[in-house]
Amino acid sequence: MISLHRLSIALLLSSSFAISAPSWAAPADSVQVPQRGVPDGFSELAARLSPSVVNISTAQTIELKDAVDKFPEGSPLERFNDFFGGRRSEGERVSKSLGSGFVIDGGHIVTNHHVIEGSDYIEVAFPNGETFEATLIGTDPSTDIAVLKFDAPDTIPSVKFGDSDASDVGDWVMAIGNPFGYGGTVTAGIISARNRNINQGSYDDFIQTDVAINKGNSGGPLFNMAGDVIGVNTAIISPTGGSVGISFSVSADLASGVVDQLIEYGETRRSRLGVRVSPQKLSAELAESYGLETPMGAIVSGVVDDTPAKKAGLKRGDLIIAIDGDDIIEPKSIFRMIAEKEIGNDVKIDIIRKRKRKTLTATVDRLEEKHNIEKREAEEKVENAADREVNGISIEGLSDEVREQYRIKSEVKGVRITKVNKRSPAYGKLQAGDIIQEVDFEAVEDTKQLEAIIAASNDSGRAAMVQVLRRGNYLFYGIRF
């Protein structure tokens, strides 16, 4: 929840598990629903689409730094133990949350990033009561979109993304989700506005509706009257925490591209230009100073060194008015326009500099997003700290937990031996607890690197020098791996 005094933008995440869902309605693929006009009702559309909407339950184990000791068994205060965090063990508690999602092709489920963020376990439940464990394929905090995967039976129906740009203000829309844990809830209304920027990220493109959306609806679909998904329900504005008729959904045109990349790569791959732009909209006077009759465009407030923008010749104060012929109406829209370009392609940038129009060409490159970098670093850390066996030597990386458990100082580098097999060439020399720091005069940083060094040593056919740290002493051995 992001509070704005009495008014708040709420991410639609419930903190309780679902109550039993209604029976799975039989699909009715032959239903024809008009795209325009006042509908006679939503029952046929709801029956056809509800089987593809899931209840998402997640669990996350949270370590408590300053854990409160539990009251002993038999104590009059024992009943308060659950109040202090619901721990499975001392210093831990389990956080549970609930959201919604919808099935697309191949057993993939689309939901919100904030629904599954930090989860240790994800379960999806269908309206007929079937449940499946799901795994995270990829997530994009910038648009609050995530994709899950589960082993889907052939009988599981799916829905598809539609063209949200073809939707107009005033069109009827319908949402299906699990507000407050009540599964399979259908609500309807109209589109109130399009292309909303609610300051949630660089790529905001929200559809605003008056559909009743509440906590637990996060990640659920917003359908048009043809049954296509035109939005992913994400946030509400409310002074009470409940629906007051102002809800926001990530547009399908934005979400579908993100979903495709997450399925293909496990992460997003966006292009970058390398400029900072002023967030202010042009006033009539400022537009006049650039020689424009109609205010539009984005003013460059800075150019990042060694980027496509710098190489193309963009300068501070330039007014960018179009990208590849598409006018820039809102300053912030430039980031999405660039992000959707093919990495490595040339982009035409129309600018006004000192009241003169120019066209520059920039070859966009890949944007290294913070969450993707953090994900790769975390994966590398896990990979490098993983337990391995090399030539009969079981080793582990010096993770924070290992250092704490065995009191290994932070300045000590290398890998720790957990076991030496009797058939290993190192048996009788190296011991469990030794920290291998060098092999063949090359410093060992992690388990993966040690494997590579020993493999190279094997190829040489000679004995390798191994330096270990044992109980504060440095020892050296010649071992023919």
Q: What is the 3-state secondary structure (H, E, C) of 79-97?
A: HHCHHHCCCCCCCEEEEEE
Q: How far apart are CA 75 and CA 397, in angstroms?
A: 43
Within 8 A by CB and 6+ apart from 354, the residues are none
What's the distance, CA 273 to chain centroid? 23
Q: Which residues pair with 193 in a beta bridge?
A: 208
Angle at 136 between CA 133 and CA 140, to 5 degrees: 150
- Among this protein's residues, is 113 annotated catalytic? no
- Among this protein's residues, is 218 annotated catalytic? yes
Name the residue among 439, 409, 458, 14 with its Cα closest to residue 218: 14
Find the catalytic residue in 100, 218, 256, 424: 218
- Helix, strand or coil for residue 221? strand
Angle at 463 between CA 461 and CA 469, to 5 degrees: 140
- Among this protein's residues, is 256 annotated catalytic? no
Q: Contact at 8 Å (CB) between 85 and 64?
A: yes
Find the catalytic residue in 52, 142, 144, 167: 144
Q: Contact at 8 Å (CB) between 122 and 136?
A: yes
Q: How far apart are CA 49 and CA 121, in angstroms?
A: 26
Give the pairing type, strands 388-390 and 393-397. antiparallel
Tokens read off for 84: 């202090």
Name the residue among 447, 394, 441 with its Cα closest to residue 421: 394
Find the catalytic residue in 114, 243, 424, 434: 114
Q: Which residues of 135-156 are buried (b: 16+ CB within 10 A; e: fewer)?
A: ebbbbbbbbbbbbbbbebeeeb
Within 8 A by CB and 6+ apart from 479, the residues are 425, 426, 429, 430, 463, 464, 466
Other CB atoms within a 10 A radius of the CB of residue 81 amount to: 17
Categorise residue 88: left if φ over 0, alpha if ψ from -120 to 50, beta otherwise: alpha
Name the residue among 202, 206, 140 with its Cα closest to residue 331: 202
Q: How far apart are CA 22 and CA 182, in angstroms?
A: 9
Name the residue among 118, 125, 120, 119 with its Cα closest to residue 101: 125
Q: Cβ-count burial of 437 within 10 angstroms (0-12 exposed, 13-18 middle, 19+ buried)?
A: middle
Q: Which residues are catalytic?
A: 114, 144, 218
